[in-house]
A and B are shown apart, each in its own frame.
Chain A
């Protein structure tokens, strides 16, 4: 596998409430993020609300400027392009390769534009084609996501949530991208529609040879679609592992906590399981010393309160975790309670 995108030491600091005469408070949303995305994989980024997963996605695609660090896009010839330092003009060609699918299909489509124009907009902006060719390309892309040709003249309000999300997917795919960042792409949809859209994303991935960064808070969905999972907590990457390994044997107490919170449909198996998720995610502007998770961690010791653990490979495997006791802790996986695939 070749690396498609790498994020190095990425930090994002928001300044809040800065006025004319007072300096603002600083809020560290992303702290020293390192990760790579291999071509052809689906990388999931999970975490609770406010952990910085959406900000990470937006920083990668440069919808927001980063404070520090680099995002490298690896082109086919092996050339590395640093995206964060490019200005608006210079980044435009790479906007064709890296696309985004939004969470809320109600607000991500311009209510004043026809579906055809919405999907044609990227082609027009990049001056890729026009006239007959543009029409064909838009209609065929829409057909691939299941929107029939006779519906392209309608406005978004005439479509259901699932259909709108598919239109959003068509807009992302019409430029033939390499990497698609799906920010909570199915969270706003009904469960039945979620499955439909997930299947569609999977099929399109094969057809177009896509790579996904799939941002989600739903571990069930992640288990279903992802090859690798990055777990984030308070702007830190706390675990980064192949999906199977992570669900079977998490190496970070936070991951264990998330897995335990997964709903189990079977009441007999649910018995005897303790709810371990405790405490609130601390306020980002008031970050704890040492390990960011120690305030909620049941295994925390004095070392955790003083020293911040680094993200490191565990026992030489592909699994990486940021916990002092990753090797020694025996953490429960998702299948200990539910010995089968959680979703699907």
Chain B
């Protein structure tokens, strides 16, 4: 009898879109309300697109040098030209350079020559190259019509290399170190923290003491020591991975703590007990019942860990102990901006620093937004 009445008395109004939305769907809706985080998301996406399309976007090879244009100032790009007779001409162009001798220091400097206009072509033909090492292409995003003309939108460095191209290629290395490093940390963090949190007991205590020990060490000297121990004759790729590994050696501890905490609190939840009483295996309980309820937290924690990685790589490379010269990263680029004299004559060498600031801020805002969105009780 009771069963029948229950069935009819059940409210039928609980339908509609909102009730059917998944956790991730709800998270995205909360995230969208966070305007700053949303903007940051697009900034981050933009930077990663640049990293992905580095060869296509960079006008020249990052290593291509030209002794004629050392420390050439940024040309800037113009879209409208005003002729002497007052008529307008449309079409992108850059100005050429002329050299002037500084009468006091007798130093040769470049000045923008407004007379010379070098037309810029978008999607211009170029020498064939491989995009991201896999896709053969022969079109660049932009370039001057005559490849022999100077094209330094963001200026040139000590060896007359194009700053923009180097910056774009540096973006790829710096951002990917953040991603790869966090992925490695995440792997160690989830496995170690997960075991500690799920089984608890002496293993948990041991792991947590190790984590505390690692975190109590000052990071920069530790990184310096480890980085200095890398063999000099390793290839660029080997160094790259070694540095990432060194960075994630510290990075996993924070993520392990987060994961362990979540496991500990979930372990005593009734729905986990229910799954155990169903007879589900440990693996099934962890993967089907526990991990899905904190993936959002993990994503947020991982996002907030990326800036740390990028900063650490930049710092190490800046000090000359991270990535080495042929590899272009924001850190190695900033090495050129180490002394005040270069900064005074060529302030555009600080461009990588600006990129670092923008990306770190964007990633932090984005991560904050994610974290708030992941935690419905957080506000």
Contact = CB atoms under 8 A, between A and B. Distances in A.
A199 interface: yes
Interface in A97-141: 99-100, 102-104, 107-113, 121-122, 125-126
A200 B6 CA distance: 9
Contacts of A200: 2-3, 6
A121 to B, nearest CB: 6
A264 B288 CA distance: 48
B2 A199 contact: yes
A20 B205 contact: yes
Interface string A182-208: 000000000000001001101100000
Interface residues of A, number: 45
Interface in B1-33: 1-3, 6-7, 9-10, 12, 14-15, 19-20, 22-23
Interface string B268-303: 011101111111100010001100110000000000
Contacts of B20: 153-155, 158
A171 interface: yes
Contacts of B7: 143, 146, 148
A112 B293 contact: yes
Interface class of chain B by DSSP: helix
B75 to A, nearest CB: 54
A171 B288 CA distance: 16
B279 A107 contact: no
A325 interface: no
B6 A196 contact: yes
Contact of A203 (B3, B280, B289): B3
A125 B279 contact: yes
Interface residues of B, number: 32
Nearest to A143: B7
Contacts of A113: 289, 292
Contacts of B271: 107-111
B274 A102 contact: yes
A116 to B, nearest CB: 12
A200 B14 CA distance: 22
Contacts of A126: 278-279
Nearest to A19: B205
Given A108-B271, A154-B19, A99 B14 contact: no
Contacts of A199: 1-2
Given A108-B270, A200-B3, A203-B3, A146 B276 contact: no
Contact of B278 (A95, A103, A146): A95
B179 to A, nearest CB: 26
A217 interface: no
Interface of B: 1-3, 6-7, 9-10, 12, 14-15, 19-20, 22-23, 202, 205, 269-271, 273-280, 284, 288-289, 292-293
6 contacts: A20-B202, A113-B292, A146-B6, A168-B274, A196-B2, A200-B6
